[in-house]
Structure 1
Amino acid sequence: MKIVYFLIFLFSIQMMASDFEKAEKLFNQQKYSQAEQIFEKYLESHPNHSKTIEYLGDIAGHAKDWDKAIGYYEKLKNQFPKEANYHYKFGGAMGMKAKESNKFKALSLIGDVEDAFLAAVKLDAKHIDARWALIELYLQLPGIVGGSEKKATKYAEELQKLSPVDGYLAKGKIAEYFDRYKTAEKNYIQAHEIGNSKTTFQKLYDLYLKKLKEPKKAQELKTEFEKQVRS
C-alpha cells in the first residue's frame, strides 16, 4: 500500500511539472490567456514558485494590467531582494502605470519607479535594460521632479562601457531629444558601424528622414543596408 501511495505521489508531481511546462510552451507561443489559466492553477499548489509568478506578471504586462503586474513583481522583489531583474520589472510596470495616470498620480509613483531602477543597477553592474530605463526616465521627467540630462548622460557613459552599440545609441538619443541632430547623427553612425543591425539602421534612417530632412541620405542608407541583408 505504501508503494501505491508513493507512486501516486510521484505521478502527481510529474503531472504538476508537466502543467508548468505546458503553460510555459503556451507563453512562448504568445498564447497568453491560455497560459495564464494554467499558471494560475499551478500557483495555487505552488504559491512561492518564482518563475510562475514572473510569467503571470509578464502576462499581466502584455495585457497592460499594470496593477496586476505590479502585484506579482512586488512579491518577487520582496521575496528575492537581491535579484536585480525583479526590481527592474517592478519599476517598469510602475513606470507604465505612471505614464497612463493623471499628473498628480504619476508624480506620486515616480520615486518608486526611480528607486526600483536604481536598485537594479546597484545589484547588477551589467544590467543594460535598467540603465536604458533610467535614461528614458531622466529625459522624460521635468527638471523640477528629477529630470536631468546630466543624469541621463551618466548612464549612457555606463552603457558605453558595457556595450558600445548601446552607449552610442543612448548618446544619440539624448542628443536627438535636445534637438542636437548633428551630434545625434555622429553617435548613430558609430552605433550602426559597430552593430549594423535593424535597430541601428532604423535610428539613423529615421533621423535623416524625420529630423535632418535629408531623404537622399536616408535612401542611400536604406539601399546599402538592404544590400547587406540580402548578401
Structure 2
Amino acid sequence: MKYKLFWIFLIVPFLNFAQSDFSKAEKLFQQEQYSLAKPLFENVLKENPNHLKALEYLGDIAGMNKSWDNAMAYYGKLKQLNPKEGNYFYKYGGCLGMKAKECNKFKALSMIGDIKSAFEKAIQLNPNHIEARWALIEVYLQLPGIVGGSEKKAQHYAAELLRISPVDGYLAKGHIAEYFERYKEAESNYAKAIAVGGSKTTYQKLADLYKNKMNQPQKAKLVLETYQDKKKS
C-alpha cells in the first residue's frame, strides 16, 4: 500500500504541472499570443501525448502559420484518437485544401478526392456542420467541370444550409449566383439573408455586391448606413 501511495504522490505533481501549462497556454491562445502558447502546449504533450485539446490548439496554431503539413499531422492524430469528431475531419480537409492551393496543378488534382472526403466525413459525423458545407460549396465552384466542378452540387449544399441555418443558406445561394455573375439573383438572396439574420456580414455582402460587381456605390453606402442605424436603435 505504501509503495502505491509513493507513486501516486510522485505522479500527481507532474499532472498538476501539465494542467497548469495547459491553462496558461489556453489563456494565451485566447489572447492571440500564439507564439507564447505554442511551447506550453508542447510541454503538455510531453506529459500526455494524447491530450486532445493541446493537439487541436497546436494544429490551429500551425494552420495560422500556414504550416499545413504540421497542422495536418496534429489533426491526423486527432482523427485517429477520436474518429467520431467531425470537426477534426473538417480542419484536416481545410489544411489539405490550403496545401493543394500551393502545389502544382497535377499534385493539387490528385488531392481533390481526399479533400472532399474529409469534408463529407465531417458532415456524416455532424449532420449540422455548417462550415464543411461552405467548404464543399467552394470546392465545387472553384473546380473546372472536367475535374468535378459542379454548380448543381454547390447548390445541393446551399439547400442543405438553407434547411440548417437559413441565413447561411441565403448567403450561400447569393455567393453561388455572384460567382456565376447572376447579380440580380445574388442581390435577392443577400437581401433575404439580411431579413433573416441582420448581421454585419449579411449587410456587408450586399454592399460589396453593389460596390464591386454592380457599380452602384450609392446603394452600397445606403446599405451600410442602414446597418449602422440599426445598431444604434
**1:193 aligned to 192, 195, 198, which one?**
195
Q: Offset of 1:179 from its aligned partner?
A: 0.3
**1:184 aligned to 183, 186, 189, which one?**
186
Cα-to-partner distance string for 1:144-177 (whole Å, 9 max, x where unaligned): 1111000000000000000000000000000000
Q: What are the within-5 Å matches in structure 2 for residues 1-231 of structure 1?
A: 6-231=8-233
3-state SS of 1:48 partner:
coil
Distance across 1 between alignment mates of 2:186 and 2:60: 33
Identity score, percent: 58
Alignment-mate amino acid for residue 74 of structure 1: G
TM-score of the pair, normalised by structure 2: 0.95
Cα-to-partner distance string for 1:90-147 (whole Å, 9 max, x where unaligned): 0000000011222112112111101100111111110001000000110011111111
Query: Which ranges in structure 1 are unaligned for 5 or more consecutive residues?
Result: none
Q: Offset of 1:4 from its aligned partner?
A: 6.4
TM-score of the pair, normalised by structure 1: 0.96
Cα-to-partner distance string for 1:19-65 (whole Å, 9 max, x where unaligned): 11111111111111111111112101211111111111000001000
Query: Which ranges in structure 2 are unaligned for 5 or more consecutive residues?
Result: none
3-state SS of 1:147 partner:
coil
Count of paired positions: 231
On the 8 A contact 2:21/2:43 being kept in 1, the answer is no
Q: Offset of 1:222 from its aligned partner?
A: 1.6
Distance across 2 between alignment mates of 1:125 and 1:212: 36
